[in-house]
Each structure stands twice: as C-alpha cells, then as structure tokens.
Amino acid sequence: MMQNLPFEPEFEQAYKELASTLENSTLFQKKPEFRKALQVVSVPERVIQFRVVWEDDKGQVQINRGYRVQFNSALGPYKGGLRFHPTVNLSILKFLGFEQIFKNALTGLNMGGGKGGSDFDPKGKTDNEIRRFCVSFMTELCKHIGADTDVPAGDIGVTGREVGFMFGQYKKIRNQWEGVLTGKGGSWGGSLIRPEATGYGVVYYVEHMIQHASGGKESFAGKRVAISGSGNVAQYAALKVIELGGSVISLSDSQGALVLNGEEGSFTAEEINTIAEIKVQRKQIAELATQAAFSSKFKYIPGARPWTNIAGRIDVALPSATQNEVSGDEAKALIAAGCKFIAEGSNMGSTQEAIDVFEAHRDANPGAAAIWYAPGKAANAGGVAVSGLEMAQNSARVNWSREEVDSRLKKIMEDCFNNGLATAKEYVTPAEGVLPSLVAGSNIAGFTKVAEAMKEHGDWW
C-alpha cells in the first residue's frame, strides 16, 4: 500500500495499473518477498524541482517550473525524456518516470528510469524564446545529470532542436563533451534511426502481435490502421505502416482529428511529410485541413479524437498522442469497428477503463473477437532503446550505420514481445481459450528484473 501520498492522480493510476497486474498473477505467491520490492520501487530515489527564469522577446521576465524525477538507478544511469508542456506537474512526471523504469528494463539495456521537464509551453513561442528557455533550464539541470548519472532525451515538446540548445549549454558550463543527452543531431553524436525509433518500434512490435495471432499468415499488408497524434511517434509509425503496405486512416493533434473521408484509401507518405513540416513550426493540423488538397480527401473534426470518427473497419489502433487518450467507451467503439490489435505509442495512452475493456476481450473462443493489447511500456520501448544504443555509440566513440541500428531495434522489439508473452504464460494462468495478457506479462517481466537487481544492491531485503 502507498501511504501519505499527496494528490497525484496520474502517478496513482500508473502505480495501480502495475500493482494490480502483479497482484492478479502468481508472482506474489511464488515470491511473497517481492511485495516489499514494490513498496520500495514506487518511491523515487530523488526528485529535483527548480525555478526557470527566462526573458521573452519583449524583454519581460517569464517564470516556469523545472523538474527531474530520478526514479530508479538499479539497472543503469537514470534515463528518460524531458517533456515541455503546460500540463507538466509532479504527478505527470512521476507517472512517466515510474513507467520508464520498467520500459527501460524491457529493452534489455542497462538504463535506470527517470523523467523531467517543465510547464513551459513551446506553442506560440519564437525560436529565440525557445533557445533562451532551454539555456536557462539547463543552467540548473546540468548540476544534476551526466553521462554516467542521468541521461535525459526528448518527449512531448522537446525535439532535436531543444536537445541541441540544452546540450550546448551543458557543454559550456561543465566543459565536457559527453553523451549526457540522447536524441542529439547526427553530426554531433546522435544515433541514426533515433528520431524514427519510437514509431518504427511500435510497428515492429505490432508485426509480432499480428504474426503470432495469425499463425504467421497475416502482416500489416492490407490492414487499416488508426493513429492518434501527429508528433514524432505518430509520424514515423504512419510512415512505417505505409511502407509495410497498410493504410493509415487517421491522425490528430491537441486541437482535433483528421480522418479519411469514406471507407477507402490512406494518408500518403507525402501527406505525412507535409504534416511533419507544419509541426516543426509548432502549428496545428487545423491550418492544413482547410487547404484544398486535404479538405477534399479528409474530414477535420475540431476538439475530437479519431477513435469514434472513422468510417469503416479498423484493424489496428496506435494511440500515439498522450496519456489517457482512449476512454472505456472509445475502447468499446474500437472493438465494435473490428479492431483486434491496440498498441500504445504514447505512455499510458489508455485509461484503466479502456485497459479493462481490452483485457476482457482476450477470449479467443470462436465467434468472439480476441483482442491483443500492448501497453506503452512494451510497445513504445523502441525510442528509449535506440537512446541506449546512442549511449553505447557515444561511449565507444563510434557511429553505427542505419542498417546496424535498425536491425538492433527490430531484435529488441521482438525480444520485448516474446518476453511479455512468455512471462504472461509463466505467471498468469488464463482460462481455456483466453489469450495471454501482454500487459501483465510486460509488467511482471520489467518489475522482476528491477526488483532482483535492487535486492542484490541491498535496496530491500
């Protein structure tokens, strides 16, 4: 039981989601001492909170809150992204940091878990304002991170541009060129495939779900894929789906959803690239939706998410925008539209109600649609996995080819799927004809790896 907690709804949601799958498995029967590990792992090793003062283009003083949650370092340096978004607070960053611990464990690489960011809103800011904010943010953060201590990266609102500004400031103050951030530019230490990694990784993971479910008979070819979001994860997931012969039938941003008119067709790679270009300028999809090329082919629905606004069949859903972007009712609507595979590109994309709906449909009896649901901490692990590969390249002072990084990413996603599946079979005994739970299997696999390392370190006994 967690005690004396301040009001942290997102963190409590992430904790309960993990704890309930452990409780409903045979893990604590087989290893009752692991209950203690759960208590210990749910408290961050350290939380850093700081003031960020910066100057806007009018010369006015602006103040934001900066954070870094150094959650767990059992498996390696703290590792996880920085999020710049007005909704950022300690509850959001604790939920993200908590998820990150187990996600990073599932990659098989030596990375602990952390997360950070600020309530700074990049939207509506000029490039100069963003640069000044990043410099000020890193002026404090640089005291607490380092290549062997804590290695941040991007998340919502933090792209290669922001990583560049922060890296430059770290280097100036610490007088060290080191792999202290990942997602760096290709010419100064970044890994090839890192920008693509989260989106590609989700699609590689889902390929294994589809192949396993169909006994190797089906693939992405011919599948209708609903995607939410239009940032880095959604863009590269969409491009990979198109490359593999699937159709991308929706995208969205915080202001609305863009879905195909009618039941045929797909976004093209060119259309995805056009959306990527406006996102670099921090603009909304709404600005594109009125242009003739888009308005003739797509329907824009302001203020909506895609899930209930798509005409025709949905085979695969990839929530890739932000947390809690699929409600229980939307989960039911996805299943009613024929969706059999749901995998989160976002962190905690599904509400607990949505997870309960998906998990209640693992029944594979004839006549019932059997649903495969993969949580973000397994399905979107490709991003941080290639961050781990970037750290390895920086330490060895080498640069691997695209092919090398891509093949390692594919193998990590395959292992992540197989590990979740095998662990579910070992610790959860479903009724006859019910599919193994990837959410339970992934949670148990990630948790046991971290718990065992912590025990060997004397963190609990």
Indicate which single residue of 79, 131, 208, 408 sits in contact with ligand GLU (rule: CB under 6 A): 79
Question: Is residue 115 annotated as a catalytic residue, yes or no?
Answer: yes
CB of 418 vs ligand GLU, minimal distance in Å: 20
Q: Select which of 36, 94, 115, 123 is catalytic.
A: 115
CB of 80 vs ligand GLU, minimal distance in Å: 5
Name the strand (E) or helix (H) holding 65.
Answer: strand 61-72
Q: Does 118 bind ligand GLU (CB under 6 A)?
A: no
Stretch of 78-86, 128-136, 425-433, 438-446 contacting ligand GLU, by CB under 6 A: 78-86
Q: How many of the other CB atoms lie within 10 Å of CB of 159?
A: 20
Cβ atoms of 114 and 152 within 8 Å: the answer is yes
Give residue number: closest CB to ligand GLU: 81
Cβ atoms of 369 and 361 within 8 Å: the answer is yes
Q: Does 80 bind ligand GLU (CB under 6 A)?
A: yes
Q: How many of the other CB atoms lie within 10 Å of CB of 458?
A: 7
Q: How many of the other CB atoms lie within 10 Å of CB of 265?
A: 14
CA–CA dist 76, 388 (Å, integer): 10
Q: Does 229 bind ligand GLU (CB under 6 A)?
A: no
Report the site for ligand GLU in 387-406 (rule: CB under 6 A). 387
Cα separation values, 368 from 298, 331, 336, 363, 433, Å: 32, 16, 11, 7, 11
CA–CA dist 70, 115 (Å, integer): 7
- Specify the residue, 111 or 337, whose C-beta has the smaller distance to ligand GLU: 111
Query: How many residues contact ligand GLU, by CB under 6 A?
Result: 10
CA–CA dist 177, 454 (Å, integer): 31
Indicate which single residue of 349, 383, 436, 446 sits in contact with ligand GLU (rule: CB under 6 A): 383
- Specify the residue, 333 or 374, whose C-beta has the smaller distance to ligand GLU: 374
CB of 97 vs ligand GLU, minimal distance in Å: 10
Cβ atoms of 373 and 349 within 8 Å: the answer is no
- Specify the residue, 81 or 420, whose C-beta has the smaller distance to ligand GLU: 81
Report the site for ligand GLU in 127-166 (rule: CB under 6 A). 153, 155
How remote is the C-alpha of 328 from its chain's centroid? 20
Q: Is 16 annotated in some ligand binding site?
A: no
CB of 160 vs ligand GLU, minimal distance in Å: 12
Cβ atoms of 74 and 148 within 8 Å: the answer is no
Cβ atoms of 269 and 239 within 8 Å: the answer is yes
Catalytic positions are: 115
What residue ranges bind ligand GLU (CB under 6 A)? 79-81, 153, 155, 182, 347, 383-384, 387
